[in-house]
């Protein structure tokens, strides 16, 4: 395990699409956030404790996820440790934040960026809160993704889902990983093809979930899944789709898990993903 990663917090994502201006304004309206053009085909959508870079690319893609690790000296230590472990690192300049950064490439070809930025203290905001909290991808190579994120980068495994109907070497159908005491800041689902899956905004509680859902109603954005409560992570949630069909989650009450707690196993069934009813099964 790489102890230098802990604690790390999801800071921002780049979300690509063929029509980035349209998608940037979708997220701006969805969240009530400021939309700013920061490059020829690049937009920043920023609100309290959340940041999205929207760029031009394939629909529904997330070319990188950026985690903050609070200080430049920790970034230098992480870089040295990754290089000792044979993980190639590269300098990275985020178009959205002015901070020292490094990037690594995961087995699916997505960049993981680490930025030396202090974690923002939450500021009081009018209306429901929604802090960018986790990113999830689906993959055709779950074992190698787990090996990379857990054993090379130092994420800590919180829970795994086991599909007893699959051959033992292919039985793992999802894994949830944490980089601070929140149950997962990153997760990976087994799927026929690798792709970005969703990201989540952690809210202040059940009434914030209600208020966000009321906002979806005003915007005529139908809830796509939920409200429900995940078994894994124990968080209340609902999801909507953005214009590419990429999912966006609003969550509350995500479980807190001390660093030393060992991972647990869940069966591959709908209840694992939704204690209240039906689930989105990626495989």
Give me the residues that bind Fe ion (CB under 5 A), please: 200, 249
Residue closer to Fe ion by CB (options 94, 158) is 158
Residue closer to Fe ion by CB (options 244, 249) is 249
Strand segments, DSSP code E, in the chain are 9-17, 34-39, 42-47, 50-56, 61-68, 90-91, 101-105, 111-115, 131-139, 156-162, 172-178, 186-190, 195-202, 225-229, 236-241, 247-252, 264-267
**Contact of 170 with 161, CB cutoff 8 Å:** no
- Residue 277 C-beta: closest distance to Fe ion, Å: 16
**Contact of 101 with 115, CB cutoff 8 Å:** yes
- Residue 52 C-beta: closest distance to Fe ion, Å: 16
The sheet carrying 90-91 orders its strands as: 34-39, 42-47, 50-56, 9-17, 61-68, 111-115, 101-105, 90-91
- Residue 149 C-beta: closest distance to Fe ion, Å: 16
- Residue 235 C-beta: closest distance to Fe ion, Å: 8
Residue closer to Fe ion by CB (options 79, 131) is 131
**Contact of 250 with 203, CB cutoff 8 Å:** yes
Q: Is 195 left (phi over 0), alpha (psi -120 to 50) or beta?
A: beta
Residue closer to Fe ion by CB (options 79, 198) is 198
- SS3 state at 158: strand
- Residue 232 C-beta: closest distance to Fe ion, Å: 9
- Residue 9 C-beta: closest distance to Fe ion, Å: 15
d(C-alpha 1, C-alpha 225), whole Å: 35
- Residue 187 C-beta: closest distance to Fe ion, Å: 7
- Residue 215: enclosing H or E segment and its boundaries? helix 206-218
- Comparing every residue's Cβ against Fe ion, the nearest one is 200
Residue 98, CA distances (Å) to 44, 95, 116, 181 in order:
13, 8, 10, 27
Residue closer to Fe ion by CB (options 49, 94) is 49
Residue closer to Fe ion by CB (options 81, 185) is 185
The DSSP bridge pattern shows strands 50-56 and 90-91 to be unpaired
Residue closer to Fe ion by CB (options 97, 232) is 232
């Amino acid at each position: 395990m790489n102890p230098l990663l802990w604690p790390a917090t999801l800071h921002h994502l780049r979300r690509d699409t063929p029509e980035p201006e349209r998608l940037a304004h979708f997220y701006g309206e969805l969240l009530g956030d400021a939309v700013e053009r920061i490059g020829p085909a690049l937009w920043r959508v920023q609100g309290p404790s959340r940041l999205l870079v929207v760029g031009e690319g394939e629909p529904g893609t997330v070319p990188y996820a950026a985690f903050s690790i609070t200080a430049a000296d920790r970034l230098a230590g992480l870089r040295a440790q990754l290089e000792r472990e044979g993980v190639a690192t590269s300098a990275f300049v985020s178009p959205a934040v002015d901070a020292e950064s490094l990037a690594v490439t995961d087995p699916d070809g997505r960049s993981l960026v680490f930025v030396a930025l202090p974690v923002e203290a939450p500021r009081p905001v009018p209306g429901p809160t929604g802090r960018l909290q986790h990113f999830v991808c689906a993959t055709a190579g779950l074992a190698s993704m787990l090996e990379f994120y857990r054993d090379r980068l130092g994420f800590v495994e919180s829970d795994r889902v086991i599909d007893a109907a699959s051959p033992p070497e292919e039985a793992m159908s999802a894994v949830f990983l944490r980089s601070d005491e929140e149950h997962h800041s990153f997760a990976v689902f087994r799927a026929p093809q690798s792709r970005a899956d969703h990201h989540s905004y952690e809210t202040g509680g059940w009434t914030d979930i209600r208020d966000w859902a009321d906002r979806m109603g005003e915007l005529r954005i139908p809830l796509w899944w939920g409200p429900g409560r995940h078994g894994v992570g124990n968080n209340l949630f609902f999801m909507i789709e953005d214009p590419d069909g990429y999912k966006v989650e609003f969550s509350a009450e995500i479980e807190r898990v001390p660093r030393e707690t060992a991972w647990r196993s869940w069966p591959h069934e709908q209840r694992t993903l939704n204690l209240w009813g039906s689930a989105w099964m990626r495989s």
